[in-house]
Amino acid sequence: MSEARKNILFAFAILLLLLGAWVAHNELLILYVSVIFAVVLTPVVTSMQTLHIRTWHPGRGLCVLALLLFVIGLLVLFFTFAVPPIQRDLRSFIEELPTRGPQSLERLRRVPLLRHADLSSMNAKFQDIASNLAAYAFTFVKLGAGKLFDLVTGIVLTIYFILDGQRAYGWIMAMIPETVRLRLDTTLRRAEQRMGRWLLGQLTLMLLLGLTSLIVFLTLKIRYAYALAVLMGLFNIVPVIGALVSISIVAVVAALDSWGRVIGVLAFMAIYGQIENAFLTPRIMQKSVDLPGLAVIVSLLLGSALAGIPGAVVAVPTAVLVAVLVDEYLVKHDARTAATRVPVKITSR
C-alpha cells in the first residue's frame, strides 16, 4: 500500500507539473529562448574578455554592456536613417487610401486574368480599411506592446544568464547523481561549443544575403533599398521562413512602382535561394553545426509549429543540443566505429 501510494502521488505530481507548464508556457518559452541565446552568446563575451590593453582586460559585465550598446547603436542608426522615409510615405499613403484604392482596382482590371472578375468587394474592403484605420492601429499597438514586453524580458534574462548562468548551471548539476554528472557535463559543454559555431555560421549567411540584396535592390531602383536589405539580412536568422517573409515584404514594396521590379525581386530570390541551399549552407552552416540539411528543415518545421517565430529562431541550436545528446546516450559508438573502420568491398560482375 505504501508503494502504491507513492506511485499515485508521483503521478499526481507529474500531472500538476504538466498543467503548470501548460499554463505558463509563454513564460517558459521566453525562459528557454533566453537560455539558448545566452549559451550562443557566451563564447562571444568570452572572446571579448581575452582582449588586453597592457595589463588591463575587460570583465564579463563590461563585455556584456559593450555588446548591448553595440546592438542599440545599430538599431539607432537603422531607425534614424531608414524609418523617416517610410514614415513619410506611409502617412501619404494613408491620406490617399480612399482615392488610391479604386485606382489600384482599375489597374488590376487591366490584367488579362482579372479583366472579367468582380472586384467590387475589394473596393468595399478598401473603404472599410480606410474608415476603421484607427481601430486597426490601436489593435496593432496593443499587440506590439505585449510582444515588446516579452522581448525586453527575454533580453534581461539573456543578460542575467550570461553574467550568472554558470552559478545556476552548477546548482542544477549539483542535484544530479555523481555517477552521471561528469558524463552529462562533458556532453553539454560539447553541445555548447557547437551551438556557438552556429551563431558564427548564421551571421555569415545573414551578412551575405544582406549585401547581395542591397546590390540587387539598388540596381532595380527599389525604394527603401537600404532598409529592406537590412531586413533581409536580419530575417535570415530564421532559415527558409525568414527569407520567405522578407521577400514578401520586398515584393509588396516593389509592386508600388512596377510589376517588372516584382519579377526582378522574385527572380533574384529564386536564384539566390538555389545558391544558398546548394552551395552556401552546406559549406557554412553544416560545417558549423555538423547537421544535415534535412535535420535543419525538420527542426524549423517543428519549432515554428510549436512556438511560432521564437521557436523557429532557436530551432537549429535546439537541434544541435538534441543531436549531441542522442549521439552520446543513444548511438552505440563501438558498433558505429567498427562499421566505419571496416572497408567496403565492391565486386564487379
pLDDT for residue 24 is more than 70: yes
Arithmetic mean of pLDDT over the chain: 78
Angle at 124 between CA 91 and CA 101, to 5 degrees: 40
Q: Measured in Å, how far apart are the chain's first and last C-alpha atoms?
A: 70
pLDDT tens for 42-94 read 888 888 888 887 778 888 888 899 988 988 888 888 788 777 777 777 676 66
Q: Are 68 and 159 in contact (CB under 8 A)?
A: yes
Q: What is the CA radius of gyration of the chain?
A: 26
Claim: this prediction has a pTM higher than 0.75: no
Tell me how far apart the alpha carbons of residues 83 and 182 are, in angstroms, rounded to a whole number: 51
- pLDDT category at 215 given cuts 50, 70, 90 is very high
Query: What pLDDT is recorded for position 248?
Result: 86
Residue type, 332: K
Q: Provide the residue ranges of all domains of the chain, joining segments of one domain with +.
A: 1-81+132-175, 83-121, 183-331
Alpha helices in the chain (DSSP H): 2-23, 25-49, 60-81, 83-109, 120-131, 133-174, 178-220, 225-235, 241-255, 259-275, 281-289, 293-313, 315-329, 333-341
Tell me how far apart the alpha carbons of residues 214 and 220 are, in angstroms, rounded to a whole number: 10
